[in-house]
Amino acid sequence: MTAVLGYMKWRIKPDPARQTPIRYVQCRNCEEKSPIEGSQAECDLWAMDHAGRTGHRGYREFAASDLIATPVRGPR
C-alpha cells in the first residue's frame, strides 16, 4: 500500500528482516500459551501436548507479521 501523508509519500510492506509471521497459541480454558514460534506445526504440537497434560480442548491461534514504512522518493 502507498499513501501521501504529511507531504511525503510512504509505502508499507513486509519487513524484510522478519519475513516469517510470528505465532502463538493460547489455551481458552486457562492462562497458558505457547512460546512465540515461527511455524504453525510447533504451535500445534504445543496445543496437543497441553491437551494431553490438562484435558483442555479449546485454543486460539495468534499470528502477526511485522511491517515497515519507507518513504517513496521521486515526484508525486
Binding positions for Zn ion, rule: CB under 5 A: 27, 29-30, 32, 54, 56
Q: Residue 19: how many CA atoms within 13 Å on its side-chain side?
A: 1
- Cell numbers describing residue 33: 500459551
Q: Which is nearer to Zn ion, 14 or 58 (CB)?
A: 58
Smallest separation, CB 32 to Zn ion (Å): 5
CB of 23 vs Zn ion, minimal distance in Å: 17
Taking the least distance from each CB to Zn ion, the nearer of 10 and 62 is 62
Smallest gap, in angstroms, from Cβ of residue 44 to Zn ion? Answer: 15
Cβ proximity to Zn ion, 21 vs 51, nearer residue: 51
b/e per residue 25-64 (b: at least 16 CB within 10 A): bbbeeeeebbeebeeeebbbebbeebeeeeeeeebeeeee
